[in-house]
């Protein structure tokens, strides 16, 4: 029995909101708990409903999706994950939203299965959504960033697992690769997230690239 | 192999022939100018004694005449056409619209024009005087034409009575030099033509500015396409996916209606973008008359309230009914405001056509003090669904209206149910003496944080 994933849809285009809600309606384990028309509404609605996942459009009036993502992921770091809605994957906004704390992005042209799967992946947090995209974000050398002290405290095993996470492997795949149990991998991943002070594996990988712990 | 060599040689021969023709045009010019100079100086030269002094005076007068003619503006155009057609000179695309008539450009043209005539004269002299005289000299020892006096100058006595071989050598050299001039001069004329007639530094800057403006305009269109068509297709994709996953037939039908509406809107946007790109690809419809450096790219940006009549005419002929008051003095509104005003009216009328009913659209422009007020109202019928937030195109307009210090309110009319109303107020609309503002409208300051919109349209 799956626990229900509560979802908030934030987009300034009502037709997109209605459409996404209708797309998610048949799913047993996903429930749309609210809609928001701009970034400010998204933040207040998140406070009201505390959804598991926020589908967040980037370009919205008043407060844009990046700002709202930053607010939400700072205010409810352990509770709410943000999935950025975008028209084009190579949009500069996507990169900025990921840096602001989004756990992944979702193309508006995705199929129903892709949309629901993306929500489950981000919610479950056991594998990384679009590892290639995260890698590409740092393809061109960005500004040198002062490395988070947590990287220094990673054990050799944790560092190895972080590298595999960055390759997009799920916990089960890492377990198979390293001949350890899934539970062990989960423990290591949790330790990595704690040491790096990040919310999920997407953010761990973003930080690993940004701080040049891993180079693309 | 052989055929290509022959083809290449033929092409080169033809090019040389055209270049010779170019010099012959110079010859013609030189003859006319020389004749003019001769007649003009006749009163003076009649009483001059030494022949060479008389000739020098005529030549000097011809040079002055040629230089003066070269200063006239048509000289450059003529020379450019001749150089392109006959010398195969290449100039930057579209630069002729950037030509400026400053002294620097005129003097350069004048020098080139004079050099062209001189070149023509030299070829004429080489072909008709130097060649036969040289040949005559070289053959003198055998033909016994010791008394040859070409142009009345006794050549042989000048050379003294030295050996026959000296005479032969000088004659042969004359022939070779004359032949070389006739053969080589046409071949080397192209490069100096490009240098002397081509864009001056000032014109190069103007060309660069125009190209930059055009590139910016293309980028803007690309961005608009990316935004609007991408946005609309996303909606279509999401709605279609939703329709597939929705069991109730009535809802599916509603989604399909929305999809059809959005698809139409995407097509309209695409049409508009392609229209701009096509106009842009046609250089003659670009920035107006020559001289306006950086006057700014394409054709949509340039349209102002003065073009409103054309717009209304076009929409009316497409079957839209528009009731409106457009005061005549909107034509005098300064450019940035006028341009924005046009865009707002165009966008509002397009949206009305897209979403409104077939009832007439009300358009009111008022010019009071320094404020221009634009009001567009249309009936949207009862179906609230499918109505977008006033059109995506208004997002950019709203930003620019804020930059101009104005306000824009769009939404359902509170006072009249079933009506959609757009109201824009732009300051800085007071008429000022009609002169082209030098500064473009593009603001250099970063976009200020968008203040909370006074209206909310959802």
pLDDT at B201 over 50: yes
Contact A13 B235 (CB under 8 A): yes
Average pLDDT for B276-290: 51
* B388: contact with A, CB 8 A cutoff: yes
Q: Predicted confidence band at B311 (pLDDT cuts at 50, 70, 90)? A: confident
Q: Is the pLDDT of residue B437 over 90?
A: no
For helices B335-355 and B393-403, the axis angle rounded to 10 degrees is 150
Q: Tokens 């599916």, residue? A: B252
- Domain assignment present for A133: no
The pLDDT of residue A4 is above 80: yes
Q: How many CB pairs below 8 A link A and B?
A: 69
Q: In this complex, do A15 and B235 lie within 8 Å of one another by their Cβ atoms?
A: yes
Flag whether A182 is in a domain: yes
State how beta strands A53-57 and A81-86 pair: parallel
Query: Is the model's pLDDT at B89 over the cut of 70?
Result: yes
* The predicted structure's pLDDT at residue B132: 85
Please tell me the distance in Å from B395's CA to the nearest CA on chain A: 9
On whether ipTM exceeds 0.85, the answer is no
Q: Which two tokens stand for residue B283?
A: 């250089």
What is the band of B388 on the pLDDT scale with cuts at 50, 70, 90?
very low
Average of per-residue pLDDT across B268-292: 57
Residue A69 has a pLDDT of 92
Whether residue A14 is found in the same domain as residue A110:
yes
- Measured between beta carbons, which residues in chain B are less than 8 angstroms from residue A112? 241, 244-245
- CA atoms of B331 and B143, how far apart (whole Å): 85
Task: Flag if B388 and A88 touch (Cβ within 8 Å).
Answer: no
Point out the residue among A16, A26, A37 whose CB comes nearest to the CB of B238.
Answer: A16
- Dist CA B67 CA B57 (whole Å): 15
Mean pLDDT score across all residues of chain B: 77
Task: Note if the pTM is more than 0.80.
Answer: no
Least confident of A12-26, B178-192, B210-224, B281-295: B281-295
Are the CB atoms for B119 and B112 separated by under 8 Å? no
CA B270 to chain centre: 25
Asked, for residue A47, whether it belongs to a domain, the answer is: yes
Same structural domain for residues A89 and A153? Answer: no
- Among residues of chain B, what percentage have pLDDT more than 90? 14
Residue B150 has pLDDT above 70, yes or no: no
- Residue with more model confidence, B92 or A48: A48
Q: What CATH number corresponds to the domain at position A35?
A: 3.40.50.2300
Which listed CATH number (2.170.16, 1.10.287, 1.25.40, 1.10.10) goes with B204-280? 1.10.287
Determine whether the interchain pair A62/B452 forms a contact, defined as Cβ–Cβ distance below 8 Å.
Answer: yes
Segment B28-83, tens digit of pLDDT? 999 999 999 989 888 887 777 777 888 888 899 999 999 999 888 788 888 888 98
In this prediction, residues B3-27 reach a mean pLDDT of 84
Interface test with A, best of B223, B225, B226, B234 (most A CBs within 10 A): B234
d(CA A48, CA A42): 10
What the block records as the tokens of B411 is 């939404």
- SS in 3 state form for chain A? CCCCEEEEEECCCHHHHHHHHHHHCCCCCEEEEEEECCHHHHHHHHHHHCCCEEEEECCCCCCCHHHHHHHHHHHCCCCCEEEEEECCCCCHHHHHHHHCCCCEEEECCCCHHHHHHHHHHHHHCCCCCCHHHHHHHCCCCCCCCCCCCHHHHCCHHHHHHHHHHHCCCCHHHHHHHHCCCHHHHHHHHHHHHHHHCCCCHHHHHHHHHHCCCCCC
More confident residue, B419 or B97: B419
Contacts of B266 (CB under 8 A, 6+ apart): B228, B229, B232, B233, B236
B217: distance to nearest CA of chain A, Å? 20
Task: Look at residue B296 in the predicted model and tell me its pLDDT.
Answer: 37
User: What pLDDT does B288 receive?
Assistant: 38
Give the residue with greater pLDDT, A189 vs B99.
A189
pLDDT digits (tens, 9 = 90+) for A48-67: 999 999 999 988 878 888 99
For residue B390, give the chain A residue with the closest CA: A13
Q: Is the pLDDT of residue B176 over 90?
A: yes
The answer to whether residue A200 is domain-embedded is yes
A192 vs B282, more confident: A192
Write out the residue range of the structural domain in which residue A154 sits. 141-211
Res. B298: pLDDT tops 50: no
Q: Is residue A132 part of a domain?
A: no
Which of A39-53, B271-285, B347-361 comes out lowest in average pLDDT? B271-285
The whole-number pLDDT of residue B294 equals: 35
pLDDT at B180 (0 to 100): 92
Count of structural domains within chain A: 2
Nearest to B239 among A19, A111, A112 (CB): A19
* pLDDT of B88 higher than 90: no
Confidence of residue A2 (pLDDT cuts 50, 70, 90): low
For the cut 70, the answer to whether the pLDDT of residue B324 exceeds it is yes
Q: Are residues A100 and A177 in the same domain?
A: no
Residue A178 resides in a domain: yes
B251 touches chain A (CB under 8 A): yes
Do A23 and A85 belong together in one domain? yes
In this prediction, residues B109-128 reach a mean pLDDT of: 92
Strand partners, B378: B420
Q: Is residue A96 part of a domain?
A: yes
The mean-pLDDT minimum among A141-150, B249-258, B339-348, B384-393 falls in B384-393
* Strands A53-57 and A5-10, sheet pairing: parallel
R_g of chain B, CA atoms, integer Å: 36
Least confident of A28-37, B20-29, B357-366: B357-366
| Pairwise CA distance, residues A38 & A214, whole Å | 35
3-state secondary structure of B234: helix
Cα B438 → chain centroid: 19
Q: What is the CATH number of the domain that holds A186?
A: 1.10.10.10
Across B372-393, b (16+ Cβ under 10 Å) vs e yields bbbbbbbbbeeeeebbbbbbbb
Provide CATH code, domain B305-381+391-427.
3.30.565.10
Q: At what angle do helices A92-99 and A65-75 cross, to 10 degrees?
A: 20
Q: Is residue A76 part of a domain?
A: yes
Between these two residues, A200 and A42, which has the higher pLDDT value? A42
Task: Give the CA distances from residue B273 to residues A62, B218, B277, in Å, rounded to whole numbers and listed in that order.
Answer: 27, 10, 6
pLDDT classification of B281: cutoffs 50, 70, 90:
low
Of A155-164, B85-94, B386-395, the range with the highest mean pLDDT is A155-164
Sequence spans of domains, chain B: 1-149+163-198, 204-280, 305-381+391-427
Nearest to A23 among B230, B235, B245 (CB): B245
Lowest mean pLDDT of A162-171, B19-28, B42-51, name the range.
B42-51
Q: Give me the residue from B226, B233, B238 closest to A19, CB to CB.
A: B238
């Amino acid at each position: 029995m799956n626990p229900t994933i509560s979802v908030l849809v934030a987009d300034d285009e009502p037709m997109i909101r209605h459409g996404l809600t209708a797309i998610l309606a048949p799913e047993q384990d996903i429930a749309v708990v609210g809609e928001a028309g701009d970034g400010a509404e998204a933040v207040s609605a998140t406070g009201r409903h505390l959804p598991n996942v926020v589908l967040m459009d980037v370009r919205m009036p008043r407060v844009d999706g990046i700002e709202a993502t930053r607010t939400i992921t700072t205010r409810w770091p352990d509770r709410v994950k943000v999935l950025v809605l975008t028209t084009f994957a190579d949009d500069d906004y996507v990169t900025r939203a990921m840096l602001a704390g989004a756990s992944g992005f979702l193309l508006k042209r995705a199929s129903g299965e892709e949309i629901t799967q993306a929500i489950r992946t981000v919610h479950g947090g056991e594998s990384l959504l679009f590892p290639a995209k995260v890698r590409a974000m740092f393809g061109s050398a960005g500004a040198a960033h002062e490395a988070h002290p947590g990287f220094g405290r990673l054990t050799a095993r944790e560092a190895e697992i972080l590298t595999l996470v960055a390759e997009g492997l799920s916990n089960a795949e890492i377990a198979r690769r390293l001949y350890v149990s899934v539970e062990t991998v989960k423990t290591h991943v949790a330790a990595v997230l704690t040491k790096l002070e990040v919310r999920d594996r997407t953010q761990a990988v973003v930080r690993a690239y940004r701080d040049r712990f891993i180079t693309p | 192999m052989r055929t290509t060599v022959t083809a290449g040689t033929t092409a080169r021969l033809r090019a040389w022939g055209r270049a010779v023709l170019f010099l012959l045009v110079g010859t013609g010019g030189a003859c006319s100018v020389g004749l003019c100079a001769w007649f003009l100086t006749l009163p003076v030269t009649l009483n001059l004694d030494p022949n060479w002094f008389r000739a020098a005076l005529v030549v000097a007068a011809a040079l002055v005449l040629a230089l003066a003619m070269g200063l006239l503006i048509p000289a450059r155009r003529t020379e450019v056409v001749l150089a392109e057609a006959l010398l195969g000179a290449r100039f930057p695309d579209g630069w002729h619209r950037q030509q400026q008539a400053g002294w620097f450009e005129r003097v350069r043209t004048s020098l080139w024009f004079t050099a062209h005539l001189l070149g023509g004269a030299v070829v004429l002299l080489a072909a008709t005087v130097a060649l036969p005289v040289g040949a005559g000299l070289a053959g003198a020892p055998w033909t016994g034409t010791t008394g040859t006096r070409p142009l009345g100058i006794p050549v042989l006595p000048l050379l003294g009575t030295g050996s026959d071989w000296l005479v032969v050598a000088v004659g042969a050299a004359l022939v070779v030099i004359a032949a070389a001039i006739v053969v080589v001069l046409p071949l080397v004329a192209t490069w100096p033509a490009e240098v002397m007639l081509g864009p001056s530094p000032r014109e190069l800057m103007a060309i660069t500015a125009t190209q930059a403006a055009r590139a910016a305009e293309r980028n803007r269109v690309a961005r608009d396409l990316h935004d609007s068509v991408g946005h609309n297709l996303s909606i279509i994709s999401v709605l279609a996916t939703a329709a597939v996953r929705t069991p109730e037939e009535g809802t599916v039908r509603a989604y399909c209606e929305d999809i059809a509406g959005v698809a139409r809107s995407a097509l309209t946007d695409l049409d508009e973008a392609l229209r701009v790109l096509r106009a842009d690809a046609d250089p003659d419809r670009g920035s107006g008359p020559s001289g306006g450096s950086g006057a700014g790219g394409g054709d949509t940006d340039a349209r102002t309230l003065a073009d409103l009549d054309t717009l209304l005419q076009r929409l009316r002929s497409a079957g839209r009914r528009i009731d409106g008051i457009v005061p005549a003095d909107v034509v005098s509104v300064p450019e940035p405001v006028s341009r924005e005003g046009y865009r707002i009216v165009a966008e509002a009328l397009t949206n009305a056509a897209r979403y409104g009913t077939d009832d007439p659209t009300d358009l009111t422009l008022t010019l009071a003090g320094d404020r221009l007020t634009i009001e567009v109202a249309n009936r949207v019928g009862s179906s609230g669904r499918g109505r977008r937030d006033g059109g995506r195109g208004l997002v950019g307009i709203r930003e620019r209206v804020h930059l101009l210090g104005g306000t824009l309110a769009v939404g359902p009319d509170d006072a009249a149910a079933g009506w959609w109303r757009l109201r824009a107020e732009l300051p800085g609309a007071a008429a000022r003496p009609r002169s082209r503002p030098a500064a473009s409208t593009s603001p250099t300051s970063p976009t200020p944080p968008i203040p909370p919109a006074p209206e909310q349209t959802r």
